[in-house]
Each structure stands twice: as structure tokens, then as C-alpha cells.
Structure 1
Amino acid sequence: MKKAIFLILLSCLFQAEAQSSALTMADSLYATGSYTKAINFYAKVGSSRGNLQIARAYNSIGNYDKAILQYESLMDGSPELQIARFELGKLYLKTKRFDDGRKLFTSLVSDDANNPEYLYYQGESFRELDQSASSLVAYKKAVEVDSTHLKSIFQLGKYFVVKQETQEALKYLNLGLLFFENDVSLINLKALALFNNNEYSKALPFFERLLELEEHKPHIYGKLAHCYFKEWDFEKSKNTYHALIRMDKDDPDPYFNLGHVFLKEQQLDSAKFYIKKSKEVQDPSFHREYRSLAGIAREEEDLKGAFEYYKLAFKEEPSDYMAYYQICTTADQLFKDPNLKLQYYENFIKKFGPDIRYFSERAKKRISELKQELHFAKD
């Protein structure tokens, strides 16, 4: 009897040692990225921890279907195993099973409402399901639980920036920047929130800070240049647009905007050069360039040139009522024949009259004056 018990104990000891050895080997293989070999050793162990590592290994090699099955099997055997539920929930999101993720994270939040990660991923599930109101509630709760929860702060800031609710956006972005002052995503969102609210002087230093942090992206240069322009710092605006042009010589916008900086300085030759350059580098739709060139021609008192540019602008964009109205007013100044002037104004009424009330009224008033002029000329 004693001998039998001894043999049983000895067998258990050898089995425990074998499992321990297999677990050690599996952990070593997992740590060095040999996931398939690690799975084989974890399978020999047969413990909850081993099964969890098998799920993680399948996840690491991208076999998400097997990883999900392994996690779900773990949950069936140990429903209280929160780490497995948490990792499965994230895997549901990765594989676009958003409603499954929502259910799982809602369950986790129910078990532990003070875990900001559970709340954040619950918010992510709702966001992917286009349930914005519920996602905002989850993100806000995550921040209430942990005021430094960067991912939730970012999502809240981004949402309110997109919605152009500047004060709400700044509330969360400023909170995040208290703890993460050099976080480029938060700085970028704050700069955009202020820029979109036309607070260019306040946005400017944040765009400058992004460049200091090596965020050399075209949209940053473009908005920074516009801030300088709005603050009447034309030299910095020009330098920044030139930097943007060096980044992409085929983007028409920097040339166009640079032309308007020179126009603001009344440097008309340079303004024409850059606006024409914008026309040259872009696909053939030059509506805005022709209108700007028409405006410059008017500044130069070149009515004939302005008239031709306005006609070209309208040809490019036949729905632009302002371009056609400018054709009318320029023709009114350029030509002597009142019949010709009358023809342009009447065409404006035919094309746009019912929709453009203010300019239609002005056109009708001028039509009346021209008809009266013609009447007196006959007399």
C-alpha cells in the first residue's frame, strides 16, 4: 500500500516537472517569436495559462479565427477570466465583429466600471457601430475614472474638432496637454480647433510647435502659412509657402495662396506669376485662377484683360453666378454700346435670376437704366 502511494506521488512529481519544463520551453519560444513551436509545447501543458498563451500565439501570427476560437473556449471554461475576455474583445474589433465587441466590453464594464481601458474599448465598439452618443458617454466615463487616459481624450478632442465645437474640444485637449505636453496628436488637434474657429493668432504657435517636434507634414505648413498671412506677417507666410512648394512642386494650392500674399502687398507682377504657376501645375480646371487674374487686371485698370479672364472663369465653371455678374459689370465699363451692355445683364437674369435675388435686383435696376438710356437716345 505504501509502495503504491509512493509510486503515485512519484508519478505526479514527474508529471508536474514535465509540465513545468514544457511551460518553461513554451514561454522561451513565445518570447522569441517562435509561436508555432510554442503552441505545441503549451498544448502539452493543458492548463488555463497554457491555453491563454495558445490564443495569444495564434493572435500574434495573424491566425485570428483560431485565436478567437481559443479565447472563446477559455471563456466557456473560465468565464471569470477577465484578461481573456479583454483580449478577445479587442480581437473582435480588429476583425470587425463590432457588435460582439460591444457586448463583451459592456459585460466587462458591468464587472469593473472603474477600468478606463474597458470603457475606452466600449467607446470604440460604439464608434465603429456609428453610435456616437454612446461612444462619447464611454469615453467621458474613461476620463472621469482616469484624467490621464490619452486615448479617450484624443477621441473626445477629435470628435469635437470635427463637429467644430471649439470649447468642448479645447476642454479635453487642454486636459490632455497638462499631462502630455509634447503629444503631437493633441497639439495638432488643438491647432486645428483654433484654426477652424478663425483664431489664427492662437493657432499659430501650436503649428510652429509641431514643426519643432519634426512633424513636417504639408497640411501643417499650409495652415501655418495661412496663419502668418492672417497676422500680416507676409515674409514668414511666403517662406512657409515656399517650403511647402519644395515638398510638392505639383500642388497648385501653395502657388495660388502665395500669389494672394503678393497681391495683399500690391506686388501685382509676382501675384500674377504665382497664380499663373498654379494654373500650369494643376489639372485643367482654372476657374479660381482666372477669377483672381481678372481681379488683378482690374487693379491694373486693364478692363479688357479682366473681361477676358472673367469669361474664361465662367467657361470653366458655368454655375459661378459671380463670375458672370463680373462679366456684366466689366462689359458695362468696357463697352460704349448700351445694347451690348443690356444683352449681358439680360443674359444674367435668364441664367440666374430666380436663384440669385440680390444680384438679380441690381441687374434689373441696371437693365431699367439702360433701356431708359436707349429710349432717350431714340428721341
Structure 2
Amino acid sequence: MDLNQRGIEAMQNGNFEEAATFFSEAIEANPNDAVGYINFGNLLSAVNEPEKALKFYEKALEYDAEAATAYYGAGNIYYNQENFNEAKNMYEKALKKGLDQGDLHYMLAMSLVAIDQSRLALPYFGRAVELNEEDCDARFQLGLCLAQLDFVDEAMVQFQTVVELDEDHADGYYNLGVAYAFKEDATKAKEMLERALTIQPDHLLAGHALTIINENNIQ
């Protein structure tokens, strides 16, 4: 097992100091290899040293401008800093360099949503779900994106799948309830909203929506 792999294993086990030692040795042994810098950047990101992590990603890209995972790592830093435009740029570069992972598509889509470009986000959410059909987060966000773009029927399909994958997904039931209310099916709407409140009694949005339906005696 090489130094980088040993460092990754140590990092996965929560042994960050040991991981740092392995990655440092890997960089010292191969100072022109981007992999060591990327791994050290990932480690620094994991221990909440974002600015230092960025420097390692930048160093990796000096040695290998095609290193897609360096762009992805930098994108995550920018996203966590709420610099969504720069995050989007980094994720797009990672995609262009050949990284085709569900997490990348999901994070690119989330960045686009954050800068009010939901229509552009839609295919990336779709690809994230395509790559991992059991990813509840990606599927839920796909549903929200579809609903925001007025594709209510398509959104309902996604929310229904979400609650099938996770029976305790209160937000999934809430959004199904809203969708049924939009389609003027008050019975199903109340059923979904009540389910959301059973799972999460303090779900304010579900409680408010249910109150509106009941006060208006909508059938």
C-alpha cells in the first residue's frame, strides 16, 4: 500500500495526524505528483482549514491542470463559504475534466439553485439521481426543482419515491401534501401533511398548511 493510500485509510479511520504524516511523506517522495496535494487538501478541508486546503488544491493544479478532483475539492470549499458562483465554476471544471460522480452533479445543481438558476440545475439533479437512484437528498432536491418550475406531476413522482426510500422523510410528505393541495385533492393533502406532523410534530410549514385546509373546510 503506497503512502497516499495509507493516508486515505488513516483519514477514513479518523486518524488525521497520522494521515497528515503519510500525505506529507507522499509529497516529499513525489513533489510533482498532484495526488498528494489533493489528498492533503481533502484532509485540511475535513479538519476545517478551508484556506489552507485551497492552497493545496491550487498546488495540485499547478502540477496537473486536468486533476478533476482538485476542482471538485475547491468547489466544496467555495460552496461551504457560500461563494456559490465560484463553487459552480469549480464544479463545472471538474465535470469538463471527466469527473462523472453523483455528488459532483448534485453539488453543481445545488450551486445553481443558490444563484437562482433552477432550470439549469434540473439536468444535474437528474443525473445525480440517475447515478444513485437511492440518494434521497438528490431525489428530494430534484422534486423541489421540478415543483419550482411548475412540473408538479413530475415532482410528485420524486417525492413519492423519497418517502418510499425513507418512511420518516417529513419534508417529503409535506411537499406531497402541498402538491395534492395544488391539485385540489384535499383528502390526500391532509393525509400527507398529517403524516409529516406525525414524524415531526414541530414541522411548522406542514402545520400551517393543514390549518389553512381545515379552516377553509376544503374537501
TM-score, with length taken from structure 2: 0.81
Provide the residue aligned with 2:17 in structure 1.
Answer: 97
Q: Which runs of 5+ in 2 are unaligned?
A: none
State the alpha-carbon separation in 2 of the partners of residues 289 and 206 from structure 1: 28
User: In the alignment, which of 250, 253, 273 is matched to residue 191 of structure 2?
Assistant: 273
Asked if 2 retains the 8 angstrom alpha-carbon contact of 1:89 and 1:104, the reply is no
Q: 2:182 aligns with which of 236, 241, 264?
A: 264
1:147-296 aligned within 5 A: 147-180=65-98, 182-280=100-198, 282-285=199-202, 287-296=204-213
Structure 2 match to 1:365? none
SS of equivalent residue, structure 1 residue 148: coil
Letter in 1 for 2:92: N
Report the CA distance shift for 1:217/1:106 in structure 2 as closer, same or farther (over 3 A): closer
The answer to whether the 8 A contact 2:103-2:128 is kept is no
Higher relative contact order (CA 8 A, sep 6+): 2
Paired letter, 1:296:
I
Q: How many residues align?
A: 216
**Correspondence 1:140 to 2:58:** yes
Confirm whether residue 108 of structure 1 aligns to residue 25 of structure 2. Answer: no
Mapped to 2, the partners of 1:205 and 1:88 lie a distance apart of: 37
Query: How far 1:90 sits from its partner (Å)?
Result: 6.0
Q: Cα–Cα, structure 1 residues 181 and 270, in superposed 2: closer, same or farther, change >3 Å? A: same
Q: How big is the shift at 1:225? A: 0.9
- Tell me if structure 2 keeps the 8 A contact 1:98–1:125: no
Q: Matches of 1:128 and 1:134 in 2, distance apart?
A: 11
TM-score, normalised relative to structure 1: 0.50
Separation (CA, whole Å) in 2 of partners of 1:87 and 1:182: 22
Distance 1:209 1:140 in 2: 28
Instruction: State the alpha-carbon separation in 2 of the partners of residues 138 and 208 from structure 1.
Output: 32
The unaligned stretches of length 5 or more in structure 1 are 1-55, 57-82, 302-379
Q: Which amino acid aligns with 2:90?
A: Y
Query: 1:169 offset after TM fit, Å?
Result: 0.9
Q: Does 1:123 align with 2:44?
A: no
RMSD across aligned positions (CA): 3.1
**Identity rate of aligned residues, in percent?**
18
What residue identity is the alignment partner of 2:134? H
Q: What does 1:288-307 align with in structure 2 at a 5 Å threshold?
A: 288-300=205-217
Question: Could you say if the C-alpha distance between residues 99 and 242 of structure 1 is closer, same or farther in structure 2, counting changes exceeding 3 Å?
Answer: closer
User: How much has 1:216 moved relative to structure 2?
Assistant: 2.5
